[in-house]
Structure 1
Amino acid sequence: MLPLFVITSLLAFVSSKPCDTQGSNRELLLSLNKNLLRSLESQEGLPNPSVHLALRLSNYHNLAKESEHLNRLKNNLHNDLQSSLSNSRSVVGQLALYTLALKSSCYDLNTVTFTVSEKTETLLTHLKKQMELEKEHIAFSQRPLTSYYQYSLGVLALCVSDIRVSNHVSNKLIKAAEQGQLKHGDTESVDTYAMAGMALQCVKDSGAHGQNSAELDTALTKIKQKLLASSRPDGHIGNEFSTGLAVQALLAMGSEVAECAASMEAMRTAARSNTYHNPMAISQTLPALLQKSYLTVKSKQCLNEDNTLMLEPVDPVVVLPSENKVAVVVEVVTFSGAAELYSVDVPKGSSLLEALELLKGNHVGFTFELESSLWGPFLSAVNGEQARQSDRRFWHLSSDGTALSQGVSDFKIKMAQRIRIKNTSY
């Protein structure tokens, strides 16, 4: 176990590069903020509560657009959640994010209700019930109905809403952290450790876990160590898309992450190279760059807020298809382990989704289906075989043996490569 002074010194490590804390960094934050706000205009499907949460945690606001998005959340997302609850679907993560989004707008959560089996109860009551179902499933099968990431979100949302989290519920998360069970598939998940860290820190700050405070402290220490051990030479923690949540967690747990820390510089470098073009990625990164975490929602007051964020007109960008083509081999591995190989030439710079569409058009035997998520579309079925969350399965994507950190619509194909699509359990 790393001693605390080592942890502190690791966190205090800063990049050797010059760190401009006033000029271009502020412009970068404003640019990310505007990109997130602009994403509301082109948002497809359900409104994203994570985007709303990040906008509300920002220092600069466009209150009219944020209010409009809040209304979409209360109508469109609310109705979708109502349907899921009525059909007994596990939606603890969405309920939790919805709670955090409303809380970030200082909305009265006691006025938000759902009706199931002719019984009307508040959002927080339904979230508590969902958490009880998750807890019981862990006791029965050693894993949540959904995932420990969603479970952590549920603990966090209840806690920042000043709802006492049952010791039985928080203990399950403490044990999972201690036993290294915070995984996605077979791999420990930085995102899950980060969300668990914020959730358990909130529980500790609330003083509601007095009987097992030593175990809680041990779990928090282990989470810190896991996050630090996941630091890469380039400053990212885990990968480019997990660094934001990891920094949020370290900040929430009381660690000093300086403005010029390597992790902050890594996120800024990635942002300047347009790595965070997905609104969901920006929504997790922007609060970290502002040195805030989701725990900030607990004490947020919506008073005297800046209202100067304006969007300038943007000329539409026409992307012409590249004449250069690259060869892509796609390997599909089914649940039984059977593999099928396909080949397709795609224009350089195509997304993986565009490549799969071309493959589907060229090969009669290849088919796929998509489902929507907060991160964008994801594969739900390939060649007629499903990989559903209800079966604790997903289609794992890799390129030349390296797992993809982006989804099918975000990952760009710039060179010849072998894409593997494998039906994987978690």
Structure 2
Amino acid sequence: MLSLVIIVGLLAFAFGKPCATEGSNREFHLSLNKNLLRSLETQEGLPNPSVHLALRLSDNHNPPKESEHLNRLKNLLHNDIQSSLSNSQSVVGLLALYTLALKSSCYDLNTVTFTVSEKSETLLTHLKKQMDDEKDNIAFSHRPLTNYYQYSLGVLALCVSGIRVNNHVSNKLIKAVEMEHFKHGDESTDTNAMAGMALQCVKDAGSHVQNAAELDAALSQIKQKLLASRRDDGHIGNEFSTGLAVQALIAMGSRVAECAASMEAMRTDARSNTYNNPMALSQILPALQHKSYLSIKSKECLNEDDTLVVEPIDPVVDSGSKSTVTVLVEVVASSGAAAVYSVDVPKGDSLLEALEILKGKNVGFTFEKESSLWGNFLSAVNGEQARQSDRRYWHLSSDGTALIQGVNDFKIEAVQKITIKNTSY
């Protein structure tokens, strides 16, 4: 008996502290649930359908606040999508997330309409039309109007809503997996994860596809890609793709244990406040609770509890003046021409705040930003735009390492060189 105790002790020493008990993990997940609910009170811009999804998939609820957020989605977000549709913009990803958010609240999707050119049609009709446009663009130029992440979201939203997905639409996604048309690097992990959930839903629904064997092969390939993206620290892809990756593995039938390395990695990051962005938190919370977006399909919204209470937080006390660090900001235009600026920034400020300070110095640096569900992103720098319609974006890196956080979330903690490069994809 003593020898067994010694062996267990040695194993614990060799592999680090043992996984927390299920009860303590449940308490921690509840605290994350409260943080996500609390974010509704401080959110800027449009209400976030991904946050609503995560709140609705949770075991604990605050019906009044969730209902209030649902109403904001049906008004503010709805009107924004209406404007985009009226201007013939491709918003399939946002339209799909809106659909999933409403579905997660068991809302009757047939009562939700948009009016374009004086013709009123249901949300699902518009989503199907946008998916057809995306499909046609793939046939014409071998890529969607938006990207395969949004295309996968569209397939998933239609399928979860009980709509039979056009086999030509699903087949385009299957072929994209087969031909490895997703972007390389960490961002492909997100796309693989969303495509996996979408195609698993298609398979579970028994929808007709052109080749069932190809569908199975695509799902197998996606699973292999996700598993091959695992890092030594437990993350799959990177810190911000692990949540969706775990959701996809769960949806595709993989058993993800409570103490799996990926689960522990997300909990470790959450404890260190890595997921302070509500969008990021909304993607890991379902995974930590062993759920995925496919869980929405069977959600009934019956006998839900009312136990999620958010306690007030003590106000943060300003500790006074901060020390400053020097940051070099390099801007690389699409032509390859580069300009370098220097700015002193209070330690702990966000990259966005640093750029605002630099802009205020009137040294020739200017920028414009736009909002997204992930927060602000750069749309124009020094008068040059990098637009999705042109398949370009401003790539951010620090000392040569690509940033995985946006301008709102990345904090300046030390002297460094930030490179902002107009990049194609």
Count of equivalent residues? 411
Equivalence map 1:24-39=2 (5 Å): 24-39=24-39
For residues 340-378 of structure 1, give each alpha carbon's deviation from its aligned partner in whole angstroms, at most 9, with x where no partner exists: 111112111111111111111124300000100000000
Partner of 2:380: 381
The offset of 1:43, in angstroms, is 1.2
Matched position secondary structure for 2:356: helix
Whole-Å separation in 1 of the counterparts to 2:146 and 2:319? 41
Query: Is structure 2 residue 410 aligned with structure 1 residue 411?
Result: yes
Partner of 1:138: 138
Matched position secondary structure for 2:231: coil
Whole-Å separation in 2 of the counterparts to 1:387 and 1:161? 35
Whole-Å separation in 1 of the counterparts to 2:267 and 2:354? 30
Question: Cα RMSD between the aligned structures?
Answer: 1.3
Whole-Å separation in 2 of the counterparts to 1:235 and 1:43? 30
The offset of 1:188, in angstroms, is 5.5
Partner of 1:251: 250
Partner of 1:176: 176
Amino acid across the alignment from 1:248 = Q
Amino acid across the alignment from 2:47 = P
The offset of 1:118, in angstroms, is 1.0
Contact 1:335 1:424 in 2 (8 A): yes
Give the number of the structure with larger relative contact order, counting CA–CA contacts within 8 Å between residues 6 or more apart.
1
Partner of 1:163: 163
Whole-Å separation in 2 of the counterparts to 1:56 and 1:425? 37
Partner of 1:102: 102
Contact 2:171 2:209 in 1 (8 A): no
For residues 83-141 of structure 1, give each alpha carbon's deviation from its aligned partner in whole angstroms, at most 9, with x where no partner exists: 11011010000000000000000000001011111111100000000000000111111
Amino acid across the alignment from 1:58 = S
Matched position secondary structure for 2:380: strand
Partner of 1:287: 286
Whole-Å separation in 2 of the counterparts to 1:276 and 1:257? 21
Contact 2:177 2:221 in 1 (8 A): yes
Contact 1:54 1:286 in 2 (8 A): yes
Equivalence map 1:214-253=2 (5 Å): 214-253=213-252
Partner of 1:40: 40
Partner of 2:128: 128
Whole-Å separation in 2 of the counterparts to 1:256 and 1:46? 36
Whole-Å separation in 1 of the counterparts to 2:17 and 2:323? 36
Contact 1:322 1:348 in 2 (8 A): no
Matched position secondary structure for 2:421: strand
Whole-Å separation in 2 of the counterparts to 1:187 and 1:335? 23
Equivalence map 1:55-134=2 (5 Å): 55-134=55-134
Contact 2:375 2:406 in 1 (8 A): yes
Whole-Å separation in 2 of the counterparts to 1:125 and 1:79? 17
Partner of 2:4: none
Partner of 1:19: 19
Partner of 1:4: none
User: TM-score with structure 2 length normalisation?
Assistant: 0.95
Q: Once structures 1 and 2 are overlaid, which stretch shifts more, 122-131 or 305-314? A: 305-314
- Against the structure 1 CA distance between its residues 321 and 172, is the aligned structure 2 distance closer, same or farther, given a 3 Å change threshold? farther
Whole-Å separation in 2 of the counterparts to 1:240 and 1:319? 29
Amino acid across the alignment from 2:307 = T
Whole-Å separation in 1 of the counterparts to 2:322 and 2:58? 41
For residues 234-255 of structure 1, give each alpha carbon's deviation from its aligned partner in whole angstroms, at most 9, with x where no partner exists: 0000111100000000000001
User: TM-score with structure 1 length normalisation?
Assistant: 0.94
Contact 1:28 1:272 in 2 (8 A): no
Whole-Å separation in 2 of the counterparts to 1:146 and 1:402? 26
Whole-Å separation in 2 of the counterparts to 1:218 and 1:363? 56
Partner of 1:192: 191
The offset of 1:31, in angstroms, is 1.1
For residues 270-292 of structure 1, give each alpha carbon's deviation from its aligned partner in whole angstroms, at most 9, with x where no partner exists: 00111111000000000000000
The offset of 1:392, in angstroms, is 1.1
Whole-Å separation in 1 of the counterparts to 2:308 and 2:256? 27
Equivalence map 1:340-359=2 (5 Å): 340-359=339-358
Q: Once structures 1 and 2 are overlaid, which stretch shifts more, 286-295 or 28-37? A: 28-37
- Give the gaps of 5 or more residues in structure 2: 1-14
The offset of 1:337, in angstroms, is 0.9
The offset of 1:59, in angstroms, is 0.3
Q: Once structures 1 and 2 are overlaid, which stretch shifts more, 312-321 or 157-166? A: 312-321
